[in-house]
């Protein structure tokens, strides 16, 4: 824990069942561009939100794909500019919310995402377009972070982009939107939130506020994720999951994530795992190695959660994942021993890997991956 810290959370948060249908009074713009994935467009959720915006011009972009590419970002930005959007709403999982962040900036900053992203020479100075994020899964936390993750289609490299202009103006937390999420997605997105909370907790940049948020989030997730998985209509569990995902998001927005997320990028970009699966598959192993430099703190978390040791916590998390039919071995994703060196090298590229409370180098990461092959 770092006793000297700077805490900033500029996002307004509104949370209530059904609130996504009643956000008109919060929208400052007159021309609203709503970004979602094809599913949320087909099932009418995007349209319902647009229909309740009272007299505003609304345009939809429904082509957000999982692991959004820079090309999709540019396509959406071009359409948003053409309509003169003064409000961008991201509706969906992390992909839609991340794309909304950069598109809301590109409406007035001009150019392509490639001008700003990894290797680009320009910087985004400010954002004049209102940015609203409405999560429909309980996991990403993207609605309260200033991070977007985008994939370069040509190189297949998936990298996070951080910008002060990416903080949403408004996060709309509506548990009703998660009621129809299927069990497999409930499991993977919920475990992503668990990773956010625990990575913020053991993070070298953690502070007393993020620690309190993380402990609260991990406890709520452990108490509710299996209930939401087993019974999608358990509204209490659904509400607890979207709120704990939000709390975990606020926590890691202050610290960033660590090795789990760094290693997840090649697992999604190159082996097709969903983000939550790619993160949680290394989670038990990372809990075990967190004792290398954060033994006392991790023992305190284990005790707070009712476990005798950190090893018991790691095993319980692994058992929980198995009980939700989640993969816990890399070979379940089709990964072979010959792939480990490459995953190690790509996983060590993001700077966040070094926020892990254990030595992260070619040898240690390879050993960790081999242990869960």
DSSP E strand stretches across the chain: 12-15, 31-35, 57-61, 87-92, 130-135, 147-151, 158-162, 170-173
With respect to Fe ion, which residue has the nearer C-beta, 192 or 339? 192
With respect to Fe ion, which residue has the nearer C-beta, 129 or 255? 255
Separation between Cα atoms, residue 31 and residue 146, nearest integer Å: 23
Separation between Cα atoms, residue 205 and residue 214, nearest integer Å: 13
With respect to Fe ion, which residue has the nearer C-beta, 176 or 192? 192
Please tell me the number of Cα atoms within 13 Å of 4 on its side-chain side.
0
Stretch that binds Fe ion, among 117-125, 127-135, 174-182, 189-197 (CB under 5 A): 189-197
Site for Fe ion in 69-98 (CB under 5 A): none
With respect to Fe ion, which residue has the nearer C-beta, 107 or 146? 146
With respect to Fe ion, which residue has the nearer C-beta, 192 or 318? 192
Least distance (Å) between residue 91 CB and Fe ion:
18
Interhelix angle 310-323/208-230, rounded to 10 degrees, is 30
Residue with tokens 């509204």: 235
- The answer to whether the beta carbons of residues 161 and 118 sit under 8 Å apart is yes
Least distance (Å) between residue 261 CB and Fe ion:
6
β-pairing, 130-135 vs 170-173, is parallel
CA 118 to chain centre: 19
DSSP E strand stretches across 152-307: 158-162, 170-173
Helix, strand and coil in the chain, % to nearest 5? 55, 10, 35
Stretch that binds Fe ion, among 6-14, 128-136, 188-196, 246-254 (CB under 5 A): 188-196
Stretch that binds Fe ion, among 28-36, 187-195, 305-313, 335-343 (CB under 5 A): 187-195
Stretch that binds Fe ion, among 67-75, 84-92, 191-199, 343-351 (CB under 5 A): 191-199
Question: Structure tokens of 342?
Answer: 């490459």
- The answer to whether the beta carbons of residues 133 and 143 sit under 8 Å apart is yes
Contact status: 211 vs Fe ion (CB under 5 A): no
Least distance (Å) between residue 199 CB and Fe ion:
9
With respect to Fe ion, which residue has the nearer C-beta, 95 or 291? 95
Least distance (Å) between residue 257 CB and Fe ion:
7
Integer-rounded Cα radius of gyration of the chain: 20
Separation between Cα atoms, residue 101 and residue 332, nearest integer Å: 33
Least Cα distance to 194 among 158, 155, 240 occurs for 240
Least distance (Å) between residue 112 CB and Fe ion:
25
Residue nearest to Fe ion (CB): 192
The count of other CB atoms within 10 Å of the CB of residue 76 is: 24
β-pairing, 147-151 vs 158-162, is antiparallel
DSSP E strand stretches across 10-157: 12-15, 31-35, 57-61, 87-92, 130-135, 147-151
With respect to Fe ion, which residue has the nearer C-beta, 192 or 239? 192
Least distance (Å) between residue 275 CB and Fe ion:
6
Contact status: 192 vs Fe ion (CB under 5 A): yes
With respect to Fe ion, which residue has the nearer C-beta, 53 or 193? 193
- The answer to whether the beta carbons of residues 89 and 26 sit under 8 Å apart is no
With respect to Fe ion, which residue has the nearer C-beta, 86 or 192? 192
Least distance (Å) between residue 249 CB and Fe ion:
9
Stretch that binds Fe ion, among 22-30, 186-194, 215-223, 347-355 (CB under 5 A): 186-194
Least distance (Å) between residue 209 CB and Fe ion:
20
Least distance (Å) between residue 354 CB and Fe ion:
18
Size of the site for Fe ion (CB under 5 A): 1
Least distance (Å) between residue 281 CB and Fe ion:
13
Binding pattern for the stretch 317-346 against Fe ion, x by CB under 5 A and - elsewhere? ------------------------------
- The answer to whether the beta carbons of residues 228 and 123 sit under 8 Å apart is no
Stretch that binds Fe ion, among 23-31, 147-155, 190-198, 237-245 (CB under 5 A): 190-198
Residues lying near Fe ion in the complex (CB under 5 A): 192
């Amino acid at each position: 824990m770092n006793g000297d810290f700077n805490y900033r959370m500029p996002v307004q948060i509104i949370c209530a069942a059904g609130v996504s249908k009643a956000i008109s009074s919060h929208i400052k713009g007159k021309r609203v561009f709503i970004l979602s994935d094809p599913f949320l467009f087909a099932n009418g959720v995007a349209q319902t939100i647009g229909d309740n915006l009272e007299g505003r011009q609304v345009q939809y972009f429904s082509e957000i794909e999982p692991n959004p590419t820079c090309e999709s970002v540019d396509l959406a930005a071009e359409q948003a500019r053409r309509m003169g959007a003064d409000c961008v709403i991201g509706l969906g999982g992390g992909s839609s919310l991340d794309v909304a962040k950069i598109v809301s900036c590109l409406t007035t900053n001009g150019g392509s995402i490639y001008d700003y992203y990894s290797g680009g020479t320009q910087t985004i100075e400010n954002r004049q377009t209102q940015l609203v994020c409405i999560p429909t899964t309980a996991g990403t936390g993207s609605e309260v972070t200033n991070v977007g993750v985008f994939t370069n289609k040509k190189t297949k490299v998936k990298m996070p982009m951080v910008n002060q202009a990416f903080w949403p103006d408004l996060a709309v937390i509506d548990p009703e939107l998660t009621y129809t999420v299927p069990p497999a997605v409930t499991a993977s997105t919920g475990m992503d939130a668990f990773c956010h909370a625990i990575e913020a907790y053991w993070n070298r940049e953690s502070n007393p506020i993020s620690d309190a948020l993380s402990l609260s989030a991990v406890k709520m997730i452990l108490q509710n994720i299996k209930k939401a998985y087993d019974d999608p209509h358990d509204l209490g569990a659904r509400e607890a999951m979207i709120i704990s995902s939000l709390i975990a998001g606020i926590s890691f927005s202050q610290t960033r994530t660590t090795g789990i997320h760094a290693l997840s990028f090649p697992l999604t970009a190159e082996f097709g795992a969903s983000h939550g699966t790619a993160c949680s598959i290394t989670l038990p192993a990372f809990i075990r190695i967190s004792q290398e430099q954060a033994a006392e703190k991790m023992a305190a978390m284990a005790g707070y959660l009712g476990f005798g040791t950190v090893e018991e916590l790691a095993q319980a998390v692994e058992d929980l994942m198995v009980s939700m039919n989640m993969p816990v071995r890399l070979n379940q994703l089709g990964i072979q021993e010959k792939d480990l060196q490459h995953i190690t090298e790509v996983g060590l590229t993001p700077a966040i890997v070094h926020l892990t409370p254990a030595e992260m180098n070619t040898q240690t990461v390879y050993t960790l991956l081999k242990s869960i092959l």
